[in-house]
Structures are given as C-alpha cells and as structure tokens.
C-alpha cells in the first residue's frame, strides 16, 4: 500500500485537472508569443528575427507566418521555419529548497513547484530547453537542461521529489549554478529571500553572467507581519536559534517597516538590472499567478 501511495505521489503533476490547467496556460502563452510574454531581453534572444537554422513540424497554434509555403506546395507538409535564436534559449528553474520554504499553508516550496511545473511545461511545448535545480546552502539536486520528449516527465518527477532542508545561501548557490551552467538563458529563481546577506550578491552573480532573470518571491500568508502578542518566542527554522522578545505594537510596526524596506530594495535592485520581480503568497492559485505574469505587459515604452 505504501509503495502504491509513493508511486501516486511521484506523478501528482500528471493528474488530469493539473494538466488541463497547464494546457490552458500554454495556449495563452502561445497566443501572446512566449518570448514576449516572459519579458525577454534582446541580449538573450531575438525571437524569429535571427538566422534561419532548420525546420520542424507545424503544431496547432503555431504562427502561420513562419510556415514555409514553398515546401508545402511541393510536399503538402506543414513545416515551420526555425531560427538560430529559437535553438539557443534555455530556461533554468532554480528553486530555494531550504527549510524556511517548507513553511506556509500551503508550503512555499509547493507553490514554487507548481509554478515551475507550469513554466517548464510551457517552455518545453514551445521548444525551449528546460532544466531545474534545487538549492539551500549550495546547489543540491539538478536536472540538466534538455528539450527531449521525456524531459517533462523528468521535470515533474524532479519537482515532486524536492524536499526542504538546510539553510539558505543564495550567493554560494548562484555562483555554483553559473559555474555548472555557463550558458546564458532565462533563470527563474523561486525563493522567500530570507537570506538577507546573500540575496543581492546572488542576483548580481546572475546579472554578471548575462542571464535574463525572473525572481518569484514567495511568502507565506501573513509572513511579513507580526501581531503584538506580548512575551513571545521567535525561532529561526533554519538554524533553530530562539529569541524571546516582548512584542508590543511599536516593535511589530518596526518589524513591518524593515521587512517592507528590504523587499522594496530588492524590487528596485531588480528593476535597475532589468530583472522581473514578482512577489506573491503561497495561497494564490499557481495558474492565476502564471496567467498574470504572462499577460502583464513588460515591454519597453
């Protein structure tokens, strides 16, 4: 019985309802053009404007402007022109799997997994290379980038098996990531950013290596606020350090101001580096979050 349950858990991303929600998101991304929707920058990929590379079979929903009608006239086959830039894009899904990401209801890591599954599914369906990595104190589990037929199942299994453990070190993790995967691409970073010391340095590392960056900042519901409850014990889940304080209204408000200042500073830094910053809570439906990301206009001007 336990073995059967484990098998079911590994494939929860294959449940019909989940797949149907993913396919709706894929169709939205297809209509918008996935590259424009994700806010890509010209240094990484220029869509279909670069050098012709190859052909691939037409899929329902593809842009008919890129069908080679001469080939169709001779062979009666719908083939789509593929350009060099389309061959070069890689989507990296980078998930903070530290202990703090196991907090929240639902857990922040579970929300990150669902969004990562959706973005990976869209990327693979639009012929991008997709890989994934879990990190805490440094890089942990990895799924090397690929666009093979079996990569989506590999991604789903990878995400399902990822579990929270250890302390966060964004700087060390991002340095290891860029060393292991030097090819620039779209780096989607999921984290609660509770590593204040390493947050800016980790993002700077991605910028130096010319990655497009989408930072998905995930919080638990109410995590950025404290209620004035008098004598309380505050515990750091990653270090087990405990501190007793008298939490009155003034201290709770000071905590709120400092947390918001840190978050706002991170957002402004991302804007200065042309990175996308999206803050959310783990109780938001994952497909609502992805839909808002896809449909929000991030193009200049």
Among candidate residues 181, 223, 178, the one with its CA nearest the CA of residue 205 = 178
pLDDT of residue 29: 85
Among candidate residues 154, 98, 159, 122, the one with its CA nearest the CA of residue 34 = 122
Torsion sign over Cα 182, 185, 191, 195? positive
User: By the 8 A CB rule, do 25 and 126 touch?
Assistant: no
Q: What is the mean pLDDT of the chain?
A: 81
Q: What's the pLDDT tens digit per position in 130-161?
A: 999 999 999 999 999 998 889 999 999 999 99
Domains and CATH numbers, the chain: 47-87 (no CATH), 89-295 (3.40.50.410)
Among candidate residues 53, 48, 55, the one with its CA nearest the CA of residue 80 = 55
Whole-angstrom Cα distance, residue 248 to residue 240? 23
Q: What's the pLDDT tens digit per position in 36-47?
A: 455 444 333 433
Whole-angstrom Cα distance, residue 252 to residue 254? 5
User: By the 8 A CB rule, do 187 and 206 touch?
Assistant: yes
Question: Quick one: pLDDT band at residue 297, thresholds 50, 70, 90?
Answer: low
pLDDT of residue 301: 35
Instruction: Report strand pairing: 90-96 vs 129-135.
Output: parallel
Q: What angle do CA 107, 110, 114 make, to 5 degrees?
A: 145
Q: What's the pLDDT tens digit per position in 96-127?
A: 999 999 999 999 999 999 999 999 999 998 88
Instruction: Report strand pairing: 186-191 vs 230-235.
Output: unpaired
Instruction: Report strand pairing: 186-191 vs 242-247.
Output: unpaired
Largest distance between two CA atoms of the chain: 81
Structure-model confidence comparison of residues 30 and 264, the more confident one: 264
Structure-model confidence comparison of residues 85 and 33, the more confident one: 33
Structure-model confidence comparison of residues 272 and 3, the more confident one: 272
Residue showing tokens 């750091």: 236
The answer, as to whether pTM is greater than 0.75, is yes
């Amino acid at each position: 019985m336990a073995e059967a349950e484990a098998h079911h858990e590994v494939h929860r991303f294959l449940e019909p309802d989940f797949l149907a929600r993913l396919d709706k998101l894929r169709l939205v991304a297809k209509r918008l053009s996935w590259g424009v929707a994700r806010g890509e920058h010209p240094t990484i990929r220029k869509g279909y404007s670069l050098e012709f590379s190859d052909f691939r079979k037409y899929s329902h929903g593809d842009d008919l402007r890129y069908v080679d009608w001469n080939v169709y006239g001779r062979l009666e086959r719908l083939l789509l022109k593929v350009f060099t830039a389309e061959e070069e894009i890689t989507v990296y899904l980078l998930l903070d799997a530290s202990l703090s990401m196991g907090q929240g209801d639902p857990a922040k890591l579970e929300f990150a997994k669902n969004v990562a599954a959706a973005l990976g599914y869209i990327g693979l369906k639009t012929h991008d290379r997709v890989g994934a990595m879990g990190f805490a104190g440094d890089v942990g589990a990895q799924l090397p980038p690929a666009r093979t037929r079996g990569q989506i199942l590999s991604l789903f299994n990878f995400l399902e098996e990822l579990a929270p453990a250890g302390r966060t070190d964004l700087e060390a993790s991002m340095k290891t990531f860029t060393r292991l995967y030097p090819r620039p691409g779209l780096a989607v970073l999921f984290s609660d950013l509770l590593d204040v010391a390493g947050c800016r340095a980790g993002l700077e590392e991605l910028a130096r290596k010319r990655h497009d960056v989408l930072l998905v900042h995930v919080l638990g519901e109410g995590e950025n606020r404290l209620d004035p409850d008098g004598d309380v014990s505050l515990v750091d889940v990653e270090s087990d350090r405990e501190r007793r304080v008298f939490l009155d209204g003034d201290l709770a408000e000071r905590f709120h101001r400092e947390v918001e200042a840190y978050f706002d500073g991170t957002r402004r830094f991302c804007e200065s580096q042309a990175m996308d910053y999206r803050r959310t809570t783990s109780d938001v439906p994952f497909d609502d979050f992805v839909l808002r990301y896809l449909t929000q206009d991030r193009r200049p001007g």
